[in-house]
A and B are shown apart, each in its own frame.
Chain A
Amino acid sequence: MRKKKIIRAITIIGLFALLVIILVPLWWCVVLAFDRTALEVLPAPSILPHEFSLFNFQYAMEMIPLGRYYLNTIFITIVNTTIAVMTSLMCGYAFAKGNFILKNFWFIFILVVMMIPFESRMTPLFLQYRKWGMLDSYAPLILGNFAYAYGVFFARQNIMSIPDSLREAAYIDGSGEWRTFLKVIMPLSKPLIATLCILQVLQNWNSYLWPLIVISSRSKQLISVGVSLFSASQTTIYYGPRMAVALISALPLIIMFLFLQKNIVESVAVSGMKQ
Chain B
Amino acid sequence: MNRIVNKSGSGIVNKSVLWRKIKKQLVWYSFIIATIACLLVLTYTPMLTTIKYSFYKISVLGYGETFIGLKNYTALLRSSGFNKSIVNTIILAALNLTVIPLGLILASLINGLGKTRAQSFYRIGFYLPNIITGVSVVLIFQIVLKADGGILNRFLSYLFQNEIKIGWLSDSSIAKLGASIISTWSGLGYAMLINLAGLQSIPREIYEASEVDGCNRIQKWLHITIPQMNTTFIFLVTTNLISSFSRFTDLYILGQNSASGRPGGSLQSILMYVYQFSFETPNYGVSSAGAIILVIIIFTVMVVNLKFTGFFKKGKE
Q: Which residues of A contact B (CB under 8 A)?
A: 7-8, 11-12, 14-15, 18-19, 22-26, 28-29, 32, 42, 44-45, 87-88, 90-91, 93-95, 98-101, 103, 106, 109-110, 113, 115-128, 143-144, 146-147, 152, 176-178, 181, 202, 205-206, 208-209, 213, 223-224, 227-229, 231-232, 239, 242-243, 245-247, 249-250, 253-254, 257, 261-262, 264-265, 268-270, 272-273, 275
Contact = CB atoms under 8 A, between A and B. Distances in A.
B61 A272 contact: no
B133 A206 contact: yes
Interface string B193-211: 1101110010000000000
Given A22-B185, A116-B295, A124-B45, 13 more contacts: A44-B154, A99-B24, A119-B294, A123-B287, A147-B42, A177-B27, A202-B131, A223-B133, A231-B253, A250-B132, A250-B133, A269-B197, A272-B239
B75 interface: no
Contacts of B129: 22-23, 26
Contacts of A26: 128-129, 132, 140
Given A147-B38, A261-B124, A253 B27 contact: no
A273 B38 CA distance: 28
Given A117-B242, A119-B291, A119-B295, A90 B46 contact: no
A116 B29 CA distance: 24
A115 B135 CA distance: 26
Interface in B267-317: 271, 274-275, 278-279, 284, 287-288, 291-292, 294-295, 298-299, 302, 309
B132 A253 contact: yes
Contacts of A126: 278-279
Interface residues of B, number: 94
Contact of B139 (A42, A116, A242, A257): A242
A232 to B, nearest CB: 4
Given A147-B43, A247-B136, A253-B133, A11 B31 contact: no
Given A42-B146, A116-B295, A25 B133 contact: no
A143 B253 CA distance: 26
A100 B193 contact: no
A128 B31 contact: no
B133 A224 contact: yes
A72 to B, nearest CB: 14
Given A19-B126, A206-B134, A32 B271 contact: no
Interface of B: 24-25, 27-32, 34-39, 42-43, 45-47, 49-50, 53, 61, 106, 109-110, 112-113, 118, 120, 122-136, 138-141, 143-144, 146, 148-151, 154, 185, 188, 190, 193-194, 196-198, 201, 232, 235, 239, 242, 246, 248-249, 252-253, 256-258, 271, 274-275, 278-279, 284, 287-288, 291-292, 294-295, 298-299, 302, 309
Q: List the 7 shortest-distance A-B pairs measured between CB atoms, nearest first.
A: A124-B49, A146-B38, A124-B46, A121-B46, A232-B257, A94-B31, A100-B28
B200 to A, nearest CB: 9
A275 B194 CA distance: 12
Contact of A93 (B25, B31, B112, B135): B31
Given A42-B146, A115-B299, A123-B284, A208 B134 contact: yes
Contacts of B31: 90-91, 93-94, 98, 177, 181
B50 A123 contact: yes
A254 B131 contact: yes
Contacts of B271: 119
Nearest to A254: B131
B29 A124 contact: no
Given A120-B50, A269-B194, A25 B141 contact: yes
B160 to A, nearest CB: 17
Contacts of B148: 42
Contact of B24 (A22, A100, A122, A232): A100
Given A25-B140, A94-B31, A275-B235, A229 B154 contact: no
A115 B302 contact: yes
Nearest to A130: B61
B57 to A, nearest CB: 15
Given A117-B294, A250-B133, A106 B32 contact: yes
A110 B35 contact: yes
A104 to B, nearest CB: 11
A19 B125 contact: yes
B45 A213 contact: no
A40 B70 CA distance: 52
B279 A213 contact: yes
Contact of A15 (B110, B185, B284): B110
A28 B50 contact: no
Contacts of B61: 127
A77 to B, nearest CB: 12
Contacts of A101: 25
Nearest to A209: B248
A246 B151 contact: no
A262 B136 contact: no
In this complex, the member of A45, A101, A228, A229 whose beta carbon has the largest number of chain B beta carbons within 10 angstroms is: A228
B135 A119 contact: no
